[in-house]
Amino acid sequence: MMLVNMRDLLEDAEKGNYAVGSFSVANMEMVLGVLKAAEELNAPVILQIAEVRLKQSPLEIIGPLMVAAAENASTPVAVHFDHGKTIEKITEALDIGFTSVMFDGSHLPLEENIKMTKKVISTAEEYDAAVEAEIGCVGGSEDGSEDIAINCTKPDDAVRFEKETGVDALAIAIGNAHGNYKSTPKLRFDILKQVDDMTDTPLVLHGGTGISPEDFVKCSKTGIKKINIATATFDSVENNVREAYKNGNIKGYYDLHEAEIEGAYKNAKRHILIFGSDNKA
Ligand code: 13P
């Protein structure tokens, strides 16, 4: 049983100076592909799904699947509820066995975000689960349905947030955005450095798709301990399937199933190696 608390993964990442990949999944094939990469590379990993994606992948079906896959993995796996909007859905994820949850109050005034995050923390405590929050605004939305403008995190807000909530992981906005970037992202490493210097909480980078390997490495050495990857997984699965059809490698359903797993595997492997979390299990 290698289902673990995200808190422990991030603590180890802090000590080892690397970041843990948190991969969004939408079906069993993606779960299998991510875990294949993690097991092959002997890497800790996080499986996640965002609340907005539950209309395609219902929580009561994909949630137990993610938890069971983690329990059966030979490498440490945390199961995380990404961009939780309501205490009700967050509690449902905790009941299923998720070992960490995010409450996304980034759109709220700081005061309100702190108040709500504290409520989520006291709920999660009953399950010994970790909690992630977000301050400032990461651009876009997890499923691309909203065009949220980037609003970089104010370092003083991060200090206050940490002090008043004691949250386990803090997502910050430093010019990053969800989905494929329209132009090369310019991350504000000056802000990241200030937040890292002024706080002790493991930091989280959302919007991982399209960030360069060099910037990922720089982030992982400057306090970012969890990196979220969603669009790159979906794109890799889709492209791998498309290629397999083009090359005449799909002759029946199970070839399609294999091509999907392979797409998720390749993407997770590439990112784990960049984040430096290989051989850290
Ligand atoms: P991307 O889709 O840009 O990889 O962002 C993922 C993410 O941050 C999920 O919370």
* 22 CA → ligand 1 middle, Å: 9
- Residue 225: name the closest of 35, 5, 2, 9 by CA: 9
Ligand 1 near 230 CB (within 6 A): yes
Helix (DSSP H) and strand (DSSP E) numbers for the chain: 10, 8
Q: Are 120 and 90 in contact (CB under 8 A)?
A: yes
Ligand 1 near 205 CB (within 6 A): no
Ligand 1 near 19 CB (within 6 A): no
Q: Domains in the chain, please, with CATH? A: 6-275 (3.20.20.70)
What secondary structure letter does DSSP report for 58? Answer: -
Ligand 1 near 227 CB (within 6 A): no
pLDDT tier at 36 (50, 70, 90 boundaries)?
very high
The encoded tokens of residue 260 equal 């999907």
Pocket of ligand 1, candidates 24, 104, 106, 216: which has the most ligand atoms within 8 Å of its Cβ, to mutate?
24
Ligand 1 near 229 CB (within 6 A): yes
The Cα 259–Cα 238 span in angstroms is 9
Q: Name the residue with the closest Cα to ligand 1, atom 5.
A: 207
CA dihedral 235, 65, 281, 16 (to 10 degrees): 60
Ligand 1 near 80 CB (within 6 A): no
Ligand 1 near 153 CB (within 6 A): no
Q: Are 169 and 130 in contact (CB under 8 A)?
A: yes
The tens digit of pLDDT for each residue in 195-214 reads 999 999 999 999 999 999 99
Question: Is 82 in the active site?
Answer: yes
Q: Who contacts 193 (Cβ-Cβ below 8 Å, separation ≥6)? A: 222
Instruction: Look at residue 144 in the predicted model and tell me its pLDDT.
Output: 85
Among the listed residues 12, 82, 143, 196, the single catalytic one is 82
The tens digit of pLDDT for each residue in 210-235 reads 999 999 999 999 999 999 999 999 99
Q: Are strands 169-172 and 100-103 parallel, antiparallel or unpaired?
A: unpaired
Least confident of 65-74, 83-92, 133-142: 133-142
* 140 CA → ligand 1 middle, Å: 9
Angle formed by the axes of helices 110-125 and 87-96, to 10°?
30
The Cα 58–Cα 51 span in angstroms is 9
Q: Which atom of ligand 1 is found nearest the CA of 232?
A: 4
Instruction: Look at residue 239 in the predicted model and tell me its pLDDT.
Output: 98
Instruction: Look at residue 148 in the predicted model and tell me its pLDDT.
Output: 82
CA dihedral 263, 215, 229, 179 (to 10 degrees): -100
3-state secondary structure of 110: helix
DSSP string spanning 164-233? HH--SEEEE-SS-BSSS-SS-----HHHHHHHHHH--SPEEE---TT--HHHHHHHHTTTEEEEEE-HHH
Q: Which atom of ligand 1 is found nearest the CA of 229?
A: 4
Beta bridge partners of 23: 47, 229
Q: Which atom of ligand 1 is found nearest the CA of 176?
A: 3
Q: What is the pTM of this model?
A: 0.97
Q: Are 188 and 175 in contact (CB under 8 A)?
A: yes
The Cα 176–Cα 197 span in angstroms is 20
The Cα 12–Cα 268 span in angstroms is 20
Instruction: Look at residue 1 in the predicted model and tell me its pLDDT.
Output: 63
What is the chain's mean pLDDT, rounded? Answer: 96
What value, to the nearest 5°, has the Cα angle with vertex 78 and ends 216 and 167? 75
